[in-house]
């Protein structure tokens, strides 16, 4: 029989991807010149501020990661339309993301603009490829939507006393906690490995890639 659920929507994968999301944001911000890999709202804000001050070099510093993020989303959609015989399209997306971050680790600090753009590109791939956990719309690379949905579900629980709302709120808040854990881990490794710290995030994504093979086999009926 066909799979009864999507292997990429499991909680374990969502947790690991949220950790990677927090790691990438911490890496780009702390190690690569205070640019966000995921929080494109912050980058757009800083782009506008620098543009208004005539600081065009810094404006580009923030604009290119935003553009790269959008291109990552576009690539994920292109991969989605392809029929892959061996891999699920989301596995291919994770693999591309992991390999790309390996490349980022070899860029010196003098190439921060390129490193941040590629990291944002990888984040764009992830945010588009993994949009649900157990049917709930959840992002693994940013927190504002998860915070809104988690709080909304918690309020609905207090109003309706439906335990499913409470479970959903815990899921959203749990993913936010995993994002924070990723940022903490990222900060620790950055102090030890500097620009090579992103290799740890890449290793985590390779693990996710192989874990999806195991989940795929378990979920066949």
Banded pLDDT at 2 (limits 50, 70, 90) = very low
Q: Is the Cβ–Cβ distance between 30 and 119 less than 8 Å?
A: no
Going from the C-alpha of 132 to that of each of 103, 139, 173, the distances in angstroms are: 28, 7, 14
**What pLDDT, on the 0 to 100 scale, is given for residue 70?**
96
**What pLDDT, on the 0 to 100 scale, is given for residue 95?**
94
Q: Taking 90 as the threshold, does the pLDDT of residue 31 lie above it?
A: yes
Domain with 152 in it: 7-33+67-218
In tens, the pLDDT along 101-141 reads 999 999 999 999 999 999 999 999 999 988 888 888 888 88
Which tokens go with 139? 């992002």
Q: Is the Cβ–Cβ distance between 130 and 175 less than 8 Å?
A: no
Banded pLDDT at 1 (limits 50, 70, 90) = very low
Banded pLDDT at 193 (limits 50, 70, 90) = very high
Report the CATH number at residue 206: 1.20.1250
Going from the C-alpha of 64 to that of each of 4, 21, 53, 78, 97, the distances in angstroms are: 40, 19, 18, 21, 18
Percent over 90 (pLDDT), the chain:
72
The answer as to whether 172 is a domain residue is yes
The answer as to whether 48 is a domain residue is no
In tens, the pLDDT along 47-101 reads 999 999 999 999 999 999 999 999 999 999 988 887 667 778 889 999 999 999 9
**What pLDDT, on the 0 to 100 scale, is given for residue 188?**
96
Q: Taking 70 as the threshold, does the pLDDT of residue 221 lie above it?
A: no
The answer as to whether 141 is a domain residue is yes
**What pLDDT, on the 0 to 100 scale, is given for residue 216?**
53
The answer as to whether 62 is a domain residue is no
The answer as to whether 174 is a domain residue is yes
- What is the number of domains present in the chain? 1
Is pTM beyond 0.85 here?
yes
The answer as to whether 60 is a domain residue is no
The answer as to whether 129 is a domain residue is yes
The answer as to whether 109 is a domain residue is yes
When mean pLDDT is compared across 41-45, 148-152, 155-159, 210-214, the lowest value belongs to 210-214
């Amino acid at each position: 029989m066909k799979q009864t659920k999507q292997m990429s929507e499991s909680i374990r994968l969502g947790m690991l991807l949220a950790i990677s999301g927090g790691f990438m944001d911490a890496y780009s911000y702390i190690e690569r010149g205070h640019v966000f890999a995921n929080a494109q709202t912050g980058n757009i804000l800083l782009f506008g501020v620098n543009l208004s001050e005539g600081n065009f070099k810094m404006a580009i510093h923030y604009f290119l990661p935003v553009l790269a993020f959008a291109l990552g989303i576009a690539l994920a959609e292109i991969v989605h339309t392809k029929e892959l015989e061996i891999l699920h399209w989301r596995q291919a997306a994770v693999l591309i993301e992991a390999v790309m971050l390996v490349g980022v680790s070899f860029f010196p600090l003098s190439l921060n603009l390129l490193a941040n753009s590629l990291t944002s590109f990888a984040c764009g791939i992830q945010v588009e490829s993994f949009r649900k956990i157990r049917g709930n719309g959840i992002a693994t690379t940013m927190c504002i939507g998860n915070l809104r949905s988690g709080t909304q579900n918690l309020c609905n629980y207090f109003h309706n006393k439906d335990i499913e709302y409470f479970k959903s709120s815990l899921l959203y808040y749990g993913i936010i906690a995993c994002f924070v854990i990723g940022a903490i881990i990222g900060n620790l490794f950055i102090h030890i490995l500097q620009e090579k710290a992103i290799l740890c995030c890449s290793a985590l994504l390779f693990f996710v890639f192989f874990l999806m093979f195991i989940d795929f086999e378990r979920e066949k009926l």
